[in-house]
A and B are shown apart, each in its own frame.
Chain A
Amino acid sequence: MSTTIPAAPPAKSPAPRTQRRVRLTDRARHERNLGWLLAGPAFIAMVAVTGYPILNAIWLSLFDYRLTDPGGREFVGLGNYAMILTDGLFWKQFGVTSLITVVTVSVELVLGFALAMVMHRALYLRTALRTVILVPYGIITVVSAYAWAYAFSNTYGFVNGLLGLGEFDWFGGTWSAIATVCVAEIWKTTPFMSLLLLAGLAQIPDDYLEAAKVDGARAWQRVKRVILPNMKAAIMVALLFRTLDAFRIFDTVFIMTAGAQGTETLSFLAYRQTISRVMVGLGSAVSVILAVLVVLIAVMFVKVFKTDLSQQRGDRK
C-alpha cells in the first residue's frame, strides 16, 4: 500500500502578471490546507489502525516467536515462510479457501443475476422484495452460520427430513461440510451481489431492449447480446468485491465446522496459529501471505479483467 502523498504543485515563484492570479493561488493554497485539515484525521486514523498492525505482522513474521516463551524469540528471516509454503497442510487449506471462493462467487453471480432480474421486472411487491433481500445482508454472519448449522444438523435440523436423507451427518465428511458452509455463505451474501447487479441493470436504457425486441431478439438473446455487455462493468465490480470478501472467510467456518473434517481456511489457519497455539511468528507469516494473496487477486482483476475501479466508483468526477 503506497502512502506517499503526491507532491504539491511547484510554487509559482515568478512574479504573477496580474493581481487576479495571486489571489487564485492563495485561494488554491487555502483550499488545499482546508482539504487536508478535514480529510487528514480520517486518513491518518485509517492508515494508523491498519498500517501499523500490517507492518508489525511483517516484522513478527521474521521471528520464531511463541508468546509463552518470549525469551526463546529468535530471528529466522524468511524461515517461517519457507516452513509454511513447504507444508502440505497450507496448500490443502489454500485449496479449500479457493474452492469455497470459486463455488460461492459463481453461484452468487448466477443467483444474484436472477434475483436482480426479478427485482427489476417485478411490478408488484417491489418494495417488499428490496426489503426482504436486505435481511440476509444485514444479519450477523455468526447468526446465519448458526441458523444453517442447526438446519443441517442431524440432531436438530429439518434439512435431512426435507431431503429424505434420514440420519445423514453433513458435518461428518469434508465435501458435505464444505457444501453446508457454501450454502450459508451464498445465502448471506447473494443479496449484496444482486443489489449491485440490479443497480447495473437499471442503468441500461429501455430503448436498447425495445430496439432488440423490435429486431426480433429472443429473451435469451436480449440477455446475452444487450443486457450482459452493458452490465460488464457492474458485474466485474461485484465479482471483485465478493471474491476478495469470500477469500477471507472466517466466521462461517468457525461456527459451522470449527475447521474440522479438513474445512480449515487460510483465515482460520492464521487465527489458530496465533491465538490458539500462540505461535505469533508463524501466525503472522500466515496473515502476511493471506494479505499478499488478496492483493494478487485484486491486481489480477484490475490487470487481467480490466476492472476499472476508479471509473466505476466514480472517483474521476
Chain B
Amino acid sequence: MFWLAGAVLIIAYAVIPVIWIVSLSFKEGDDITNKSFLPTVWSWENYRTVFASDLFTTALRNSVGMSLIATTISVILATLAAYAISRLNFPGKRLVLGVALAITVFPVIAIATPLFNLWRTIGLYDTWLGLIIPYLSYSLPLSVYVLSAFFREIPWEMEQAAQVDGATNWQAFRRVIVPLAAPGVFTAAILTFFAVWNDFVFGITLTSSEAARPVPAALAFFQGASQFSQPTAPIAAAAVVVTIPVVVLVLLFQRKIVAGLTNGAVKG
C-alpha cells in the first residue's frame, strides 16, 4: 500500500505541470485569467493562432531541421568513434572519452558568447549552419559517451564466430554487427535529439530573426514584440506542440532511454 501511494504520487508529480500547460493552452477569453486549473470551455483557438503565425511555424521548421541534422552528424561520427574505443586498442582512447566528458559539463554560455562575435565576422550569424556547428559541441560528446557505454557491452566475438561458420565479412557485418549495434545507435540518437531539441542558449544568442531561430528561443520572443494581444495562452499552445515529440518518443522508447541514461553511469 505504501509503495502504491508513492507510485501514485510520482505519477502526479510528473504529469500535473504538463496537464496544467495543456489546460492553459485550451483556455480562451476570460478563462485565461480565471486562475483555475482547468478551462471552463475547451477551445482550439490558441492552436489556430499559433499555426497561423509565421513566427511559430518557421521556428518549428528550424527546430525540426536543425535538430535532425545535428543528431545525424553526431550519431554517425560518434558511432565510428565509439566502435574504435570499444573494439580497438589504440593510444589516446581514454583521452577521447575524457575530452567528451569534460565538454559535456562545460558551461554552454561560455561557448556561445565568443561565437556571437566570430559568427558575425564570418557570416554564420543567424544561419542554420551557425547553430548546427555549436550544437555539435554538446550533441557529439553526448553521443560518444552513450554509444561507448553501449558498445562496451556488445559481445563482438560473435563476428568471428559467424566468420568461422562460413559467413563472409559483409554477411558477418550485416547479420551480426548491425543488429547488435543498432539499439545503442538508436538510443544515442534519441538522447541526442532531446538535447538539441532543448537548446535555448545558442538559439537566443546566435540568431536575430526567423531565419534560424528555433522554437524555445522563439517562445521567448512571443512576449511583447508579437502580434498577440495576450501571448500567454498561445505560448502555452506552442509549448504543448513542441512537447508532443518528446512525449511520443518517451512512450515508445521508455526502456531504451532509461538504459541509455544509466548505462555506463554506474557500472564498474
Q: Is A bound to B?
A: yes
26 contacts between A and B (CB under 8 A): A31-B90, A32-B88, A32-B89, A35-B84, A38-B88, A39-B93, A42-B78, A42-B81, A53-B118, A57-B110, A57-B114, A118-B6, A131-B254, A134-B257, A135-B246, A135-B247, A142-B219, A150-B24, A158-B37, A195-B262, A237-B265, A271-B204, A271-B205, A291-B106, A294-B106, A312-B268
Contact B105 A241 (CB under 8 A): yes
Residue contact A115 to B10, C-beta cutoff 8 Å: yes
B30 → A minimal CB distance (Å): 12
Any chain B CB within 8 A of the CB of A107?
no
The proximity string for A residues 291-317 relative to B, scoring 1 for CB distances below 8 Å and 0 otherwise, is 100100010000000000111111101
- A291 near B11: Cβ-Cβ < 8 Å: no
Most A Cβ at <10 Å: residue of B83, B106, B267: B106
Complex CA–CA separation, A47 to B251 (angstroms)? 35
- Among the stretches A86-94, A210-218, A249-257, the one at the interface with B is A249-257
Known A-B contacts A36-B90, A147-B239; the reply to A50 vs B194 at CB < 8 A is: no
Interface residues of A in 252-278 (CB under 8 A from B): 254-255, 267, 270-271, 274-275
Contacts A3-B99, A39-B85, A241-B105; A314 near B264 (Cβ below 8 A): yes
Complex CA gap A241/B105 in Å reads: 7
Complex contacts, A141 vs chain B, CB 8 Å: 198, 200, 216
Which B residue's beta carbon lies closest to that of A255?
B220
* B158 interface hit (Cβ, 8 Å): no
A296 → chain B closest CB, angstroms: 12
Within the assembled complex, what's the spacing in Å between the Cα atoms of A317 and B264? 11
Q: Is the CB of B103 within 8 A of A50?
A: yes
Mostly helix, strand, loop or mixed at chain B's interface?
A: helix
Within 8 A of B (CB), among A1-60: 1, 3, 5-9, 28, 31-39, 41-43, 45-47, 49-50, 53-54, 56-57, 60
Say if the beta carbon of A288 comes within 8 Å of chain B: yes
Q: Are B103 and A271 in contact (CB under 8 A)?
A: no
The answer to whether A280 and B117 touch (CB under 8 A), given A41-B81, A147-B239, A287-B110, is yes
CA distance A158 to B98 in the complex (A): 46
Neighbour of A140 across the interface among B33, B108, B216, CB < 8 A: B216
- Whole-angstrom CA separation of A313 from B102 in the bound complex: 13
Q: Which of A32, A45, A134, A136 is the one whose CB lies under 8 Å from B136?
A: A45
Q: Please, which residue of chain B has its CB at the minimum distance from the CB of A32? A: B90
Which residue of A50, A147, A161, A310 is within 8 Å of B137 (Cβ)? A50
- A106 on the interface (CB 8 Å rule)? no
Q: Contact check: which of B91, B103, B246, B268 meets A314 at CB < 8 Å?
A: B268
Distance from A18 Cβ to chain B, minimum over Cβ atoms (Å): 21
Return the CB mask of B237-265 against A: 1 if under 8 Å, else 0: 00100110011011100110110011011
User: What chain A residues lie within 8 Å of B136 (beta carbons)?
Assistant: 45-46, 49
Binds B, one of A172-180, A198-206, A220-228: A198-206
For A121, the chain B residues whose CB sits under 8 A away are 3
CB distance from A59 to the nearest CB of B (A): 9
Distance in angstroms between the alpha carbons of A175 and B85 in the assembled complex? 48
Contact A56 B118 (CB under 8 A): yes
CA distance A67 to B187 in the complex (A): 42
Are the C-beta atoms of B250 and A135 separated by less than 8 Å?
yes
Q: In whole angstroms, what is the CA distance A311 to B233 when docked?
A: 48
